[in-house]
Amino acid sequence: MAYVELHDINKHFKKFHASKDINISIEKGKLVALLGPSGSGKTTILRMIAGLEQPDSGEIVIDGKVVNNVPGSERGIGFVFQNYALFRYMNVYDNIAFGLRVKKVPEDKIKERVTELLTLINCEGLEKRYPSQLSGGQKQRVAFARALAPNPQILLLDEPFAAIDAKVRLELRTWLRQMITKLNITSIFVTHDQDEAIEVADEIIVTNQGRVEQSGTPQELYKNPATPFVAQFIGNSVEVKNYDKFRYFDKTGETSVAYLRPEFVSIFKKGESVQFANSAEEAVVEDIIFRGSNIEVKVRIHDNLISAIRSINNPEIKVGETVDVFIYRIYVVQGDEVILATNSSLADEAIVI
Amino acid sequence: MDLRKENKALKYILVTISFIFLGVFLILPLIYIVITALKEGIAGYVNAVTDEYAIKAALLTIEATVFAVIVNTIFGVAAAWLITKYAFKGKKLLSTFIDLPVTVSPIIAGLIYVLTFGRQSSLYPILDSYGIQIIFAVPGIVLATIFVTFPFISRELIPVLTAQGTDEEEAAAIMGANTFTIFRKVTFPHIKWALLYGIVLCTARAMGEFGAVSVLSGHLRGKTNTLPLYIELLYQGYDFTGAFAASSILVVLAIIVLILRLVIEKHGRKELDLNK
Amino acid sequence: MNKRRSVIPGFGISMGITITILSIVVLIPLCSLVVFSAKLSFSEFVYTVTRPRILSGYFVSISTAFFASLVNVVMGLILAWILVRYDFKGKKFIDGIIELPFALPTAVAGISLTHLTTTNGWVGQIFYNLFGIKIAYTRIGITIALIFIGIPFVVRSVQPVLEKIDIQYEEAAFILGADSKTTFRKVIFPEILPAIISGFTLAFARSIGEYGSVVFIAGNTPYETEIAPLLIMAELQEYDYSAATSIALVMLGIAVIILSINAIAQSVVSKRVNGKA
């Protein structure tokens, strides 16, 4: 049952149309990512749910009630800001207690709650520290505790990992995911990093140019991108201009644009592959990038530069070498939709062998 | 929703209070000066401002101001460059000494020059033997004017140069440019508006200085009287029209300074944004 | 002076120019003050600065400067607030005119304020006829002149800080349920407090030493409206340099104390915010 819903939301900033007919429905207890490039309107959606922005039209519904005219502080929301916005002149204790104090909660209850949260975020003993004396990860946890202190029903996080360095970021992702699962609180976070969204979220809402492109589980988005944008944005896709020139792919739509992911492509040294010997195409290697655990090979084929991943255990390939390329699948753009096309030689594999 | 524009009533109260406060404290005195200056008609006004002694006072004010601006520009540029481009011991102390003159009462500023160059000073016989008189003479007035406006230019340049950093100068130096070329081609474009702003502030303060100049001037009409001192003289002689007429010249200059300030600040802000 | 091996040429020449001009304008005169002070006899110094007329001068200077600076804190805060947070007609004008006390010669301001506030002046007669309050030639008049010259200090120190406060802090307080009063008190005020203190102390230090705008409006009645800088001036006109220097030394001491209080306050705050407590 949907807990947070947005119906036909539109929002302008002066002439900029930031949100276009947004419809979203989020179930209780889910951890949802709003994913999109910068300027795609994801933060605006989050800020409207929080009551920091008012939509020009449309309804925001939380727990069955329209909350458009309810101030953000009364929507049962906790908000973790991008740079945490911890109050610099208050120590950790006072920061976490702030939301309880303004609600006139008795001081002994506040103490109980703050202590409980400090234990939860593993920051016991830091209550007297000021924000400037905390590490990035600690700040993030304190911001999390401050947002949770008044017992919100929904937790909103604006780019929660953006301000943290790469190494700690991975740890914090896991931590946050565990925390939210443990507390079973409906959470929505904004990110521009697809790995982050895929790894952390139960469900992803992809935004682009003020619209919602697609929403679904990470697997769904990955397997069945609904729009050309999603096909191109998720995975390290490259655009292919004339896919119908590839062997065993026939033109199905009006245009011949398609998206190709590295994992859809295999590259073999001459004579290496028996299986695809007859159905592969020849191409010349233009670049080789060592990625640590594997090797990315870039080849030019029918005027398109495409990538494939090769295991480091396979025989070495050099730049300028002519290789066999076999493409399993591509996402073909048909108008506003995307269709998965499979190499037709795979259908009559028996004949090939 | 904009959190910062919530309370209309509060806004109107605060804006109204501000207008009344500034109206009474700043605008009213200006209007009063102009009206009093013109009390005896245009002819009386013209007479008062073209008085021989008024013109001499104005010329001395210009002389002192020009000297102060030149010395402080040279000093300000050198000091700001020194402080922002090099690391050396005693930098903090140097900054403190540069800022010191504005925190000292103008009367005390005058006093220390009297102590330095006056009759009881050990420098006095040496200077006297060359026929140089400093206090109660024009050089004293010039020195006092330099003193009270001392940090005005360096203080405007230092923040801009700090924001700009030293990368560009280092790049130019590695390519073999000399000091003058680096300053002219690399540094100067960054600071030109800030420098102009500092010069405007320095000019404004220099032409209006009263206390320090008052101590060091011999109050000789036509010889060591600057415009502000001349105004005092007229005022104490109950020549109010004359005093306010002379004041009105300085009011006009002050207004020009304020307008220049806004114009320069507009350009300067753009520059500071570019530096970031 | 320990020269760092910087690749940028010109250290020598800029250091040379700086030190030469600094020495002539500031260091040598300052040294002569020190040398001259060292020659003062201690008992004479104590006798000079504890004369009732001198003590009264200090009191008048400090008390009027203090009240004027307090008024300027309140007004400066309001002005900075409306300039940063509101849009209204005449905003550019206010922003420009605030600097007038820096640009207008103090003597000019002094005579104009005096004439306006005498018992038959435009403003003075209103207060005199309605409330029986005299402004010019009283300590109220001195305070008025000091308010005039101190207006820009607090505004100009608070304004840039207020501009830089990230709206996220206010949004965070808002979502946690704070009303605008609480947000101002708990979140915004602590951010601008260091700037307020610094504006106040600068205005205070400047006001204590102010001469030009005050001499005309003060009336200079001994024990009533004689300010300390005027007493130095009076001693100088008598060529009593020892007395003038003694009075000046005490004033310099007061200025140093005021500015040190500010420096301490700023370092306490910056330790907290920059995390070195």
pLDDT in the model for residue B272: 58
Interface probe, candidates C161, C165, C167, C176, chain A, greatest A C-beta count within 10 A: C176
A50, A51, A132 ranked by CB distance to C273: nearest: A132
Contacts of B244 in chain C (CB under 8 A): 111-112
Residue among B15, B86, B106 minimizing CB distance to C88:
B15
What is the structure's pLDDT at A352? Answer: 44
B217 pLDDT exceeds 60? yes
Residue A342 has a pLDDT of 83
Share of chain A above pLDDT 70, in %: 97
- Chain A contacts to C (CB-CB under 8 A): 50-52, 71-74, 77-79, 81-83, 85, 87-90, 98-99, 102-103, 130, 132-133, 146-147, 149-150
Q: Which residues of A touch B3 (CB under 8 A)?
A: 52
Mean pLDDT on B3-16:
81
Q: How many domains does the structure of chain C reveal? A: 1
Mean pLDDT of chain A: 89
Which of residues C2 and B119 earns the better pLDDT score? Answer: B119
| Chains touching B, CB cut-off 8 Å, 3+ pairs | A, C
| CA dist list (Å): C70 to B154, C73, C75 | 30, 5, 9
Give the count of beta carbons closer than 10 Å to the beta carbon of residue A279. Answer: 20
Q: Is residue C263 part of a domain?
A: yes
Question: Can you give the pLDDT at residue B123?
Answer: 86
Chain B residue whose CA is closest to A13: B1
Q: Give residue A210's region: left, alpha or beta (phi > 0; psi -120 to 50).
A: left
**Residue B177: predicted pLDDT:** 86
Contact status of C240 with chain A (Cβ, < 8 Å): no
- Same domain membership, residue B159 and residue B245: yes
State whether C105 and B19 contact (CB < 8 Å): no
Residues B21 and B138 in one domain: no
Best of B39, B91, B94, B115 to disrupt the C interface (most C CBs within 10 Å) is: B115
**C-alpha distance from A95 to closest chain C C-alpha (Å):** 10
Higher pLDDT, B167 or C23: C23
B53 and B28 both lie in a single domain: no
Specify whether B57 is located in the same domain as B33: no
Nearest-Cα residue of chain A relative to residue C190: A89
Contacts A147 to C, Cβ<8 Å: 175
Mean of pLDDT over chain B: 89
CA distance A214 to chain C (A): 29
Which chain B residue lies closest to A53 (C-alpha atoms)?
A: B1
Burial of B103 (0-12, 13-18, 19+ CB in 10 A): middle
Interface check B174 vs A, CB under 8 A: no
**Gap from C172 CA to chain A (nearest CA, Å):** 7
B77 pLDDT more than 70 = yes
Q: What percent of chain C has pLDDT over 90?
A: 81
SS3 content of chain A, % helix, strand, coil (to 5): 30, 35, 40
pLDDT of res. A348: 60
What's the rounded mean pLDDT across residues A242-251? 77
C158 close to B (CB below 8 A):
no
C77 Cα to chain A: minimum distance (Å): 19
The DSSP string of C189-207 is HHHHHHHHHHHHHHHHHHH
The reply to whether A83 touches chain B by the CB within 8 Å rule is no
Residue B9 shares a structural domain with residue B75: no
SS3 A317: coil
**Contact status of A54 with chain B (Cβ, < 8 Å):** yes
Name the CA radius of gyration of chain B, rounded.
Answer: 23
The residue-averaged pLDDT of B56-62 equals 93
Task: Report the alpha-carbon angle B126-B131-B136, nearest 5.
Answer: 95
Q: How far is A162 from chain B (nearest CA, A)?
A: 21
Number of domains in chain B: 2
B15 and B62: one domain?
Answer: no
Tell me the per-residue pLDDT of A19-44, one tens digit each, with 9 for 90 and over. 999 999 999 999 999 999 988 999 99
Across the interface, do B75 and C229 touch by the CB < 8 Å criterion?
no
CB contact under 8 A, C190 and A77: no
The gap between the terminal CA atoms of chain C, to the nearest Å, is 31
Residues of C in contact with A155 (CB under 8 A): none
Structural domain contains residue B165: yes
Query: Same structural domain for residues B20 and B73?
Result: no
- Say yes or no: B97 and B26 in one domain: no
- B68 near B146, Cβ under 8 Å? yes
pTM beyond 0.90, yes or no: no
Residue of B nearest to A50 (CA): B1
Say if C109 is an interface residue toward chain B (CB within 8 Å).
yes
Q: Which of B219, B214, B220, B42 is nearest to B113 (CA)?
A: B214
Q: What pLDDT score was predicted for residue A353?
A: 39
Q: Has residue B24 been placed in a domain?
A: yes
ipTM of this model? 0.90
Does residue C180 belong to any structural domain of this protein?
yes
- The mean pLDDT value for A88-103 works out to 92
The answer to whether residues A41 and A209 touch, using CB atoms and an 8 Å cutoff, is yes
Domain extent for B18: 1-37
- Stretches where chain C sits below pLDDT 70 are 1-5, 275-277
- In 10 A of CB C68, how many CB atoms? 24
- Is A102 in Cβ contact with C176 (below 8 Å)? yes
Strand partners, A66: A61
| pLDDT tens track for A268-304 | 888 777 777 677 888 899 999 988 888 999 998 888 8
pLDDT tens per residue, range C8-60: 888 999 999 999 999 999 999 999 999 999 888 999 999 999 999 999 999 99
Any domain includes B81: yes
Distance CA B30, CA C104 (A): 9
- On whether the CB atoms of residues A219 and A313 are closer than 8 A, the answer is no
Condensed to tens digits (0 to 9), the pLDDT of residues B123-146 reads: 888 888 898 888 888 999 999 999
The answer, yes or no, to whether residue A211 has pLDDT greater than 50, is yes
pLDDT per residue over C78-93, tens digit each?
999 999 999 999 999 9
In a domain, B43, yes or no: no
Q: How many interchain CB pairs under 8 A, B with C?
A: 284
**Neighboring chain B residues of C233 at a CB cutoff of 8 Å:** 107, 214-215
Residue B48 near residue B242, CB atoms below 8 Å: yes
Sheet with A154-158, edge to edge strand ranges: A77-80, A154-158, A186-191, A31-35, A203-208, A211-216
Domain boundaries in chain A?
Answer: 2-225, 238-352
Q: What is the pLDDT of residue B202?
A: 94
Which C residues, 237 through 256, put their C-beta within 8 Å of a C-beta on chain B? 241, 244-245, 248, 251-252, 255
For residue B244, what pLDDT band results from cuts at 50, 70 and 90?
A: very high
Give the pLDDT confidence score for residue A101 in this predicted structure.
92
Tell me which residue has tokens 């007035």: B141
Interface check C167 vs A, CB under 8 A: no
A67 chain-B contacts, CB cut-off 8 A: none
CB contact under 8 A, B3 and C167: yes
Question: In the prediction, which pLDDT does B271 show?
Answer: 62
Q: Identify the CA nearest to A220 among candidates A239, A236, A197, A240.
A: A197
pLDDT exceeds 80 at position A203: yes
Q: What is the pLDDT of residue C277?
A: 43
Cβ-Cβ contacts under 8 Å between A and C: the total is 75
CATH fold, domain A238-352, is OB fold (Dihydrolipoamide Acetyltransferase, E2P) (2.40.50)
Report the residue of B19, B26, B61, B132 to disrupt the C interface, i.e. the one with the largest count of C CBs within 10 Å. Answer: B26
| Nearest CA distance, A325 vs chain C (angstrom) | 52
Distance from the Cα of residue B74 to its chain's centroid = 15
Strands A265-268, A65-66: pairing is unpaired
Does B60 map to a domain? Answer: yes
Among C166, C169, C170, C175, which would you mutate to test the A interface (most chain A Cβ atoms within 10 Å of its Cβ)? C175
Percentage, residues of chain A above pLDDT 90? 51
pLDDT at C2: 43
Mutate to test the interface with C, among A83, A98, A101 (most CBs of C within 10 A): A98
Range of the domain at C156: 60-83+105-270
Q: A2-225 — its CATH code? A: 3.40.50.300
Flag whether pLDDT at A349 surpasses 60: no
